[in-house]
């Protein structure tokens, strides 16, 4: 399945690409960083992570994770890539 392209700075993935830092949302319904437009939830859970994919020089994409297998919200430990 091919994902639609998103311009840098537009939408959640575009903002993550622009900033180069991951976004962890534990509850989309209450997260004040997101506008009401993003709160219409198409996910099974209210939690997601958007993480930039980088080379040494730049961001080349964004990985969006939703619906953790356990049904629990994502948490800061899920961002630990060590």
Q: Is the dihedral of CA 72, 43, 23, 27 positive or negative?
A: negative
Q: Is the dihedral of CA 4, 51, 32, 71 positive or negative?
A: positive
pTM recorded for the entire structure: 0.76
Return the closest-CA partner of residue 51 out of 35, 65, 41.
Answer: 65
Distance between CA atoms of residues 46 and 74, nearest Å? 9
Distance between CA atoms of residues 48 and 7, nearest Å? 20
Query: What per-residue confidence (pLDDT) applies to 24?
Result: 93
Query: What per-residue confidence (pLDDT) applies to 40?
Result: 55
Per-residue pLDDT of the chain (82 residues; tens, 9 = 90+): 555 677 777 788 888 999 999 999 988 888 888 765 655 556 677 889 999 999 998 999 999 998 888 889 999 999 886 5
Query: What per-residue confidence (pLDDT) applies to 80?
Result: 80
């Amino acid at each position: 399945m091919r994902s639609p392209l998103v311009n840098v700075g537009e939408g959640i993935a575009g903002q993550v690409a622009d900033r180069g830092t991951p976004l962890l949302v534990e509850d989309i319904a209450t997260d004040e960083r997101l506008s009401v437009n993003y709160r219409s939830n198409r996910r099974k859970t209210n939690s997601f992570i958007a993480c930039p994919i980088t080379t040494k020089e730049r961001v080349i994409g964004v990985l969006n994770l939703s619906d953790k297998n356990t049904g629990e919200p994502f948490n800061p430990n899920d961002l630990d890539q060590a």
